[in-house]
Amino acid sequence: MLLRIEDIDTTRCKPEFTAAIFEDLHWLGLGWPEPVIVQSERFEIYRQAAARLQLMGLLYPCFCTRAEIAAHAVGTDPDGAPLYPGTCRHIAAATRERRVAAGERPAWRLDMQAALARSGPLAYPLMSAEEPLITESIKVQPERWGDVTIVRKETPTSYHLSVVVDDAAQEITHVTRGKDMEAATDIHVLLQRLLGLGTPAYGFHRLQLDSDGRKFAKSRQSRSLRDLRRQGWSAQDVRRAIGFA
């Protein structure tokens, strides 16, 4: 198991939070190779990857606010968020440069149509929980995400870019992630092709849901491992509850 601390938002990720995560996972019986990758220490590497995409003519600056995107959305993406309508894709290059020079901080989006024209057909090997391990090849549909953000306004990367770059750096060959990340894998396979990186095999596990049928989330203050420990749960209790005892 490889552990990556995704502390892109440095206002929310503090050393004591990271230490608590490590402690809880060790308590549960999990281990991982050291040292652990910390994404805020790899910003220059992500900048270089984004620069490659930009040199290919695949990134463009986006100045839209979330409210503007919501007001002009052309549907929703697989996560249910407003689908970006491509507003800034049509801004003249001189205008873009002038706005950036004036101090506006844009996000950088992937020109999906141009990226797909360059990438060709895309697929990834799907893992099974049983033998044979690789069961089939899954064709991806990144176009359903529209022009996704590759570099956020506040940091020189995004989850999509950093996870692809980090997996390649660690020579990851097999990835297990939650079912809620299945659709986003389309974007990652596309970025791997564009950046000349290998595509791992992917498997997707079921999610742990609360009594209302919603996945556990920090934003809803769902119970954490630390909460369960305080309530007297043992590591064996947790493993049994999620079906891994």
89's CB contacts (< 8 A; 6+ apart) are 60, 109, 111, 147
CB 213 within 8 A of CB 187: no
Q: What is the pLDDT of residues 120-170, one digit of tens each?
A: 999 999 998 776 677 789 999 999 999 999 999 988 999 999 999 999 999
pLDDT confidence of residue 4:
44
pLDDT confidence of residue 106:
95
Predicted TM-score (pTM) of the model is 0.88
pLDDT confidence of residue 35:
86
Q: What is the pLDDT of residues 172-183, one digit of tens each?
A: 999 999 999 999
pLDDT confidence of residue 7:
45
Query: What is 186-245 written as a DSSP string?
Result: HHHHHHHHHTT----EEEEEPPPB-TTS-B--GGGTPPPHHHHHHTT--HHHHHHHTT--
Which of 183, 185, 133 shows the shortest CA–CA distance to 164? 185
Average pLDDT, the chain: 89
Q: What is the pLDDT of residues 174-227, one digit of tens each?
A: 999 999 999 999 999 999 999 999 999 999 988 877 777 777 777 677 788 888
Distance in angstroms (rounded) separating the CA atoms of residues 75 and 109? 18
Cα–Cα distances in Å, from 34 out to 4, 27, 85, 88?
10, 17, 42, 42
Tell me whether the omega of the peptide bond preceding residue 61 falls within 30 degrees of 0, making it cis: no
pLDDT category of residue 8 using cuts at 50, 70 and 90: very low
DSSP H or E stretch at residue 125: strand 123-127
Q: 86-100 b/e with 16+ CB inside 10 Å = b? A: bebbeeeeeebeebe
DSSP H or E stretch at residue 98: helix 93-101
**Regarding beta strands 107-110 and 59-62, do their DSSP bridges make them parallel or antiparallel, or are they unpaired?**
antiparallel
SS3 call for 104: coil
pLDDT confidence of residue 115:
98
As beta bridge partners, residue 61 has: 108
Distance in angstroms (rounded) separating the CA atoms of residues 132 and 210? 32
